[in-house]
Chain A
């Protein structure tokens, strides 16, 4: 159905994709795996017509040749995409965003709004989404945005048959239950004889849904095989060789810093979406924040930091009160926050990796009359090797030239470099490969060991449980409990974050 032969792409002399050959059958779910920067997104962007490949390669969809560099050709041959950066328009409504893909229903060039709304609602329903069609996409959580992007990709347009659905890390910020939903959607789509390319760094998902797996390394295909009989450890082996046993990296849990001084104090802090809550975090402690989409989990860290409007309450860092809604002073007081929205709220894509890395601490390199570039470059090189950013000589490349996972590492480095006393990270390992994930976990544990109070918000319960001494559970906009010690288990956290139907009725009445 899809035949790729000898596809290459070179960026300023460096090969991102080198002679890729790949075949995908109709009705097959094909997992595309590989470390950060191995060329997955580059391949997908070639399919979608965003990048033009080097001459010499070819792609056939259902027998007909794809015209490179032409999104129209890609679409009309039946390919649909959910890109890593989703490509939604933040300033438009959910309704408009899902309709952009297929075109609005019109009479005499006028949009038939009622009909459009009807279609959109039906589309959202079909995708199992409970969203207000008039909500601005910019106001949605990352998980909700992903869902909108999927709904849009699958929206049927008249006369066009969908042959291939391509999903580039759609699950990077999705919690388990929504992953289940998405995997179900994938199965359903593929059962209609649609080919699916699925990129992810989470191997369980591969084991659950894929029929076939291809592994890339440095832009080359190093393995391609059926999933039957493949175990998780064999998959890890395919991906990284013998280098690492991913489970061991975070096995050693930290001792509970029971009598360390308190670094962060929050008293009846509330935001628009979270009811007042209290929290103390000690130096050297790691506290997780768990909750399903819409539970208010996404707002907790932001409200402490000042990225989100804090309606009420008090936050202190080492006993100094923080002004609400003032990130600059929070950072000065030693509290830093990495938001989950990497591209819109984290990085400045047009600036170099180096400029991004030192943005929160520019004055460190300033000695009148010049910025000390050498020192800055040395610092960047240090973080690049510490977190394994690739390409490792890319410190002056714009951030947008890095792969998603590498962008994530660079932005994390920005905050680690501040040597904060309170480190708050939202989805710290989104989009990074399994080695980098272990590396980042080590960093967080290392920060805690050196006396930093660490708060981790994540849709990935495994991650929270592996790292945290305590886990905050959010449900329906409320911090309902804080699990401690031996209560912090995957089963417990998952169960408590889900609202049982019984309780829902209870709360409604």
Chain B
């Protein structure tokens, strides 16, 4: 791992981000280069970034969890409904909601580990079922916003000019980074993602860790859903819309910071580089549809980039990333 090119590879996202700042800063300095833009980009992306972290954990273990969007969505509805319609106070409502989300992860894990259904299919299925539950709970109508003053403050009070949700995101990133990089659990999860059979024969409890990763993923999605309810207010439809950007960021993240493996800081970097790009374009052009276009394009580019890195002469074994849907892995150089 010799650093020969000033991190051009590992931190190319930072350079790209800096480039965006430079371009849009020169283009529309009075719109773009403001602390308002900075703060709003930071908190607008916080929920999406949390979902990307949720996607990241099972992805490191070689599983795709497509249900995070649905889990976030139903969590918002539950936490709001409990408070507005059933008179719960904030604390218990949040706790119960996150537990319910974790149970969804438990079910995902059961289907994947015990019934041995491929995670891709399994979570596609549970996502649909969860969406149905959401309709049952909400009865198709958006629940009213909880009136307690604490509810808004949960995410919107400001710290150093940033909404506090940004701080939550940082804490969560540190947590995920710590678990994946600095604990045995992370070692096991990466080993399972790299070669399940070898991990199993090395004494790694493959089923257990895979299951745990699905639970962690759903719990994080649940937290993201709760915070969304406080930050933006209840919504019945936002969850699935955040799924694609979450995957785009997690994929793009595999090319950053620790190239070749899905990782927390790379994911965070990816989220914000994309966001800065989108924001700048929106300010310049004034159109709203850029977001979707950018995210879709970024997903494809991210995967293409990861594959290209791998196939490039001098990159390591093709076999390591041979599974067509697996997170692309390439060796660090």
Please name all residues of chain B whose beta carbon is closer than 8 Å to the beta carbon of A328 when the two chains form the complex: 203-205
Interface stretch of the complex, out of B68-76, B90-98, B127-135, B188-196: B188-196
Please name all residues of chain B whose beta carbon is closer than 8 Å to the beta carbon of A11 when the two chains form the complex: 314, 333
Asked if residues B187 and A414 are in contact (CB atoms below 8 Å), the reply is no
Among B4, B203, B314: residue with most chain A CB under 10 A: B203
**A229 an interface residue at 8 Å Cβ cutoff?**
no
Interface stretch of the complex, out of A238-246, A281-289, A340-348, A431-439: A340-348
Contact of B317 among A359, A371, A396, A400 (CB under 8 A): A400
Please name all residues of chain B whose beta carbon is closer than 8 Å to the beta carbon of A362 when the two chains form the complex: 184, 187-188
Among B183, B201, B330: residue with most chain A CB under 10 A: B201
Asked if residues B198 and A346 are in contact (CB atoms below 8 Å), the reply is yes
Q: How far is B182's CA from A69's CA once the two chains are assembled, in angstroms?
A: 38
Please name all residues of chain B whose beta carbon is closer than 8 Å to the beta carbon of A397 when the two chains form the complex: 1, 331-332
**B140 an interface residue at 8 Å Cβ cutoff?**
no
Beyond A351-B194, A400-B320, A401-B331, whether A359 also contacts B202 by CB under 8 A is yes
Expressed in whole angstroms, the minimum distance between the Cβ of B333 and any Cβ of chain A is 5
- In the complex, residue of chain A having the shortest beta-carbon distance to the beta carbon of B200: A327
- In the complex, residue of chain A having the shortest beta-carbon distance to the beta carbon of B184: A362
Please name all residues of chain B whose beta carbon is closer than 8 Å to the beta carbon of A344 when the two chains form the complex: 195, 197-198
- In the complex, residue of chain A having the shortest beta-carbon distance to the beta carbon of B317: A400
Among A13, A52, A327: residue with most chain B CB under 10 A: A327
Q: What's the tally of chain B residues with a CB closer than 8 Å to chain A? A: 37
**A369 an interface residue at 8 Å Cβ cutoff?**
yes
Asked if residues A400 and B183 are in contact (CB atoms below 8 Å), the reply is no
Please name all residues of chain A whose beta carbon is closer than 8 Å to the beta carbon of B202 when the two chains form the complex: 327, 331, 359-360, 414
**B161 an interface residue at 8 Å Cβ cutoff?**
no
Chain B proximity mask over A121-132: 1 for CB below 8 Å, otherwise 0: 000000000000
Asked if residues A332 and B203 are in contact (CB atoms below 8 Å), the reply is yes
Beyond A12-B2, A350-B261, A350-B321, whether A51 also contacts B314 by CB under 8 A is yes
**B86 an interface residue at 8 Å Cβ cutoff?**
no
Asked if residues B190 and A355 are in contact (CB atoms below 8 Å), the reply is yes
Expressed in whole angstroms, the minimum distance between the Cβ of B60 and any Cβ of chain A is 11
Q: How far is B194's CA from A345's CA once the two chains are assembled, in angstroms?
A: 11
**A178 an interface residue at 8 Å Cβ cutoff?**
no
Expressed in whole angstroms, the minimum distance between the Cβ of B196 and any Cβ of chain A is 9
Please name all residues of chain B whose beta carbon is closer than 8 Å to the beta carbon of A109 when the two chains form the complex: none
Please name all residues of chain A whose beta carbon is closer than 8 Å to the beta carbon of B183 when the two chains form the complex: 366, 369, 371
Contact residues of B: prevailing secondary structure: loop
Asked if residues A350 and B203 are in contact (CB atoms below 8 Å), the reply is no
Q: Which A12-46 residues sit within 8 Å CB-CB of chain B? A: 12-13
Asked if residues B203 and A398 are in contact (CB atoms below 8 Å), the reply is no
Contact residues of A: prevailing secondary structure: mixed
Q: How far is B201's CA from A136's CA once the two chains are assembled, in angstroms?
A: 21
Asked if residues B203 and A331 are in contact (CB atoms below 8 Å), the reply is yes
Please name all residues of chain A whose beta carbon is closer than 8 Å to the beta carbon of B316 when the two chains form the complex: 349-350, 398, 400-401
Please name all residues of chain B whose beta carbon is closer than 8 Å to the beta carbon of A255 when the two chains form the complex: none
**A442 an interface residue at 8 Å Cβ cutoff?**
no
Expressed in whole angstroms, the minimum distance between the Cβ of A195 and any Cβ of chain B is 25
Expressed in whole angstroms, the minimum distance between the Cβ of A46 and any Cβ of chain B is 9
Asked if residues A347 and B191 are in contact (CB atoms below 8 Å), the reply is no
**B178 an interface residue at 8 Å Cβ cutoff?**
yes
Asked if residues B204 and A359 are in contact (CB atoms below 8 Å), the reply is yes
Please name all residues of chain B whose beta carbon is closer than 8 Å to the beta carbon of A50 when the two chains form the complex: 318
Please name all residues of chain A whose beta carbon is closer than 8 Å to the beta carbon of B184 when the two chains form the complex: 362-363, 366, 371
**B309 an interface residue at 8 Å Cβ cutoff?**
no
**A291 an interface residue at 8 Å Cβ cutoff?**
no
Chain A proximity mask over B296-333: 1 for CB below 8 Å, otherwise 0: 00000000000000000110111111000000011111
- In the complex, residue of chain A having the shortest beta-carbon distance to the beta carbon of B327: A350
**B260 an interface residue at 8 Å Cβ cutoff?**
yes
Q: How far is B3's CA from A396's CA once the two chains are assembled, in angstroms?
A: 13
Expressed in whole angstroms, the minimum distance between the Cβ of A418 and any Cβ of chain B is 9
Chain A proximity mask over B179-222: 1 for CB below 8 Å, otherwise 0: 00011100110110011011111111100000000000000000
Asked if residues A347 and B198 are in contact (CB atoms below 8 Å), the reply is yes
Expressed in whole angstroms, the minimum distance between the Cβ of A71 and any Cβ of chain B is 11
**A478 an interface residue at 8 Å Cβ cutoff?**
no
Asked if residues B201 and A327 are in contact (CB atoms below 8 Å), the reply is yes
Asked if residues A12 and B198 are in contact (CB atoms below 8 Å), the reply is no
Chain B proximity mask over A68-100: 1 for CB below 8 Å, otherwise 0: 010000000000000001010000000000000
- In the complex, residue of chain A having the shortest beta-carbon distance to the beta carbon of B328: A350
Please name all residues of chain B whose beta carbon is closer than 8 Å to the beta carbon of A251 when the two chains form the complex: none
Expressed in whole angstroms, the minimum distance between the Cβ of B114 and any Cβ of chain A is 16
Q: How far is B1's CA from A414's CA once the two chains are assembled, in angstroms?
A: 22
Beyond A332-B203, A350-B320, A355-B190, whether A400 also contacts B331 by CB under 8 A is yes
Please name all residues of chain A whose beta carbon is closer than 8 Å to the beta carbon of B332 when the two chains form the complex: 396-398
Q: Which A351-409 residues sit within 8 Å CB-CB of chain B? A: 351, 355, 358-360, 362-363, 366, 369-371, 396-398, 400-401
Asked if residues B197 and A13 are in contact (CB atoms below 8 Å), the reply is no
**A337 an interface residue at 8 Å Cβ cutoff?**
yes
Beyond A349-B319, A350-B261, whether A339 also contacts B201 by CB under 8 A is yes
Asked if residues B201 and A13 are in contact (CB atoms below 8 Å), the reply is no
Please name all residues of chain B whose beta carbon is closer than 8 Å to the beta carbon of A371 when the two chains form the complex: 182-184, 187
Asked if residues B194 and A348 are in contact (CB atoms below 8 Å), the reply is yes
Asked if residues A345 and B331 are in contact (CB atoms below 8 Å), the reply is no
Please name all residues of chain B whose beta carbon is closer than 8 Å to the beta carbon of A339 when the two chains form the complex: 201
Expressed in whole angstroms, the minimum distance between the Cβ of A239 and any Cβ of chain B is 27
Please name all residues of chain B whose beta carbon is closer than 8 Å to the beta carbon of A358 when the two chains form the complex: 187
Asked if residues B190 and A351 are in contact (CB atoms below 8 Å), the reply is yes
Q: How far is B201's CA from A382's CA once the two chains are assembled, in angstroms?
A: 24
Please name all residues of chain B whose beta carbon is closer than 8 Å to the beta carbon of A332 when the two chains form the complex: 203
Q: How far is B315's CA from A50's CA once the two chains are assembled, in angstroms?
A: 10
Asked if residues A348 and B182 are in contact (CB atoms below 8 Å), the reply is no
Please name all residues of chain B whose beta carbon is closer than 8 Å to the beta carbon of A366 when the two chains form the complex: 183-184
- In the complex, residue of chain A having the shortest beta-carbon distance to the beta carbon of B188: A362
Please name all residues of chain B whose beta carbon is closer than 8 Å to the beta carbon of A4 when the two chains form the complex: none
Asked if residues B191 and A348 are in contact (CB atoms below 8 Å), the reply is yes
Among B187, B198, B204, B261: residue with most chain A CB under 10 A: B198
Q: How far is B203's CA from A40's CA once the two chains are assembled, in angstroms?
A: 33
Asked if residues A345 and B319 are in contact (CB atoms below 8 Å), the reply is no
Expressed in whole angstroms, the minimum distance between the Cβ of A11 and any Cβ of chain B is 6
Asked if residues A349 and B194 are in contact (CB atoms below 8 Å), the reply is yes
Q: How far is B188's CA from A371's CA once the two chains are assembled, in angstroms?
A: 13
Expressed in whole angstroms, the minimum distance between the Cβ of A426 and any Cβ of chain B is 11
**A262 an interface residue at 8 Å Cβ cutoff?**
no
**A307 an interface residue at 8 Å Cβ cutoff?**
yes
Asked if residues A327 and B331 are in contact (CB atoms below 8 Å), the reply is no
Beyond A348-B199, A350-B260, A398-B331, whether A85 also contacts B319 by CB under 8 A is yes
Expressed in whole angstroms, the minimum distance between the Cβ of B20 and any Cβ of chain A is 30
CB pairs A–B below 8 angstroms (13 shown): A13-B2, A51-B314, A85-B317, A327-B200, A330-B203, A346-B201, A348-B194, A348-B195, A350-B195, A350-B260, A351-B194, A359-B204, A366-B183
Which 10 pairs of residues, A with B, have the shortest CB-CB distance? A52-B313, A400-B317, A348-B194, A398-B331, A350-B329, A331-B203, A400-B316, A349-B320, A328-B203, A348-B195
| A contact set with B: CB distance below 8 Å | 11-13, 50-52, 69, 85, 87, 307, 327-328, 330-332, 337, 339, 343-351, 355, 358-360, 362-363, 366, 369-371, 396-398, 400-401, 414
Given contacts A351-B194, A359-B204, 16 further A-B contacts (CB under 8 A): A12-B2, A327-B201, A327-B202, A330-B203, A344-B197, A344-B198, A345-B197, A349-B317, A350-B260, A355-B191, A359-B187, A359-B198, A359-B199, A362-B187, A397-B332, A401-B316
